[in-house]
Amino acid sequence: MKKYILFVLFAMTISLFSAENFYDLKAKKIEGDTLHFSELKGKKLMIVNVASFCGYTYQYGELQSLYKQYGGAEFEIIGFPANNFSNQEPGTDEDIIDFCTEKYDVTFTMMSKISVVGADKHPVYQWLTLKTKNGVANQEVMWNFQKYLISKTGQLVGIYGSQTSPLHNDIVNWVKEGMSDVAESQVPNLKVFPNPSSDFIDISMNSAINGEINIYNIYGELLISMPPAGSSDICRINIQELVSGVYFVEINGQKLSFIKN
């Protein structure tokens, strides 16, 4: 996979192209009923293509953290499962909803599995990726967990690549801007350092660590589980026994990847 990071904020200028109306779109929810995008008028939206067996699947936890904090009348996350990249979403709609609810407690809107690239690209993703339809930019989906931001008036205003966390400050600040009632508590900001690491990792958050700290391998197998050290928001974990590779640490419902040298 080519390394890909993309962050774009678009100025609100008059396009040379005639954009199609975002609110004319519709798609099937994972439960089977139809979502008419006209129902979303007045909300900021993040639309993201998701997959159950990707190196970025941990972002389900980050998406849910963002939604738990700000989701509701003014902000919605819409997840579109897609199997376009390395067969990383092979399951049925039932398999997918079971996975994301049981493993990540997902409560944001999940849609039925679609295609986000190619000749069978879903109309929603035709709108997101084609300037002739969105009036702003041509930008194909490059990998799982690419994020498109839609304003309250149905305009494409930002695109973030897979490697950008849903909890990136720029995304959180965009979501919060103009909200009538923003909750006072912060979205937990999980950090692992040094990364890559060889002997120990230090974990810090901008809120207290609650519950166990778990470390998984890329296959989802639990390797380390330990309680936090008191009420501190910084914790050190010995990873000397882990072999070299990519791992995920889970705290407070969030997952973040790190590399063991």
Residue numbers of the domain that contains 252: 191-260
Candidate list 54, 106, 159, 203, residue with the active-site label: 54
Distance CA 183, CA 248 (A): 28
- Strands 213-217 and 222-226, by their bridges, are antiparallel
Q: Is residue 182 part of a domain?
A: no
54 catalytic per annotation: yes
| pLDDT tens digit sequence for 144-201 | 999 999 999 999 999 999 989 888 889 999 999 988 765 544 555 677 888 888 899 9
Give burial (CB, 10 Å; 0-12/13-18/19+) of 189.
middle
| Same-domain check for residues 16 and 144 | yes
- Tokens representing 16 are 């040379």
| Same-domain check for residues 136 and 232 | no
| pLDDT tens digit sequence for 133-156 | 999 999 999 999 999 999 999 999
Do 83 and 113 touch, CB atoms closer than 8 A?
A: yes
| pLDDT tens digit sequence for 27-85 | 999 999 999 999 999 999 999 999 999 989 989 988 998 998 899 999 999 999 999 99
User: How many domains, the chain?
Assistant: 2
26 Cα distance to chain centroid? 21
Give burial (CB, 10 Å; 0-12/13-18/19+) of 122.
buried
Q: Is residue 185 part of a domain?
A: no
CATH number for position 234: 2.60.40.1220
Split at pLDDT 50, 70, 90, the class of 210 is low
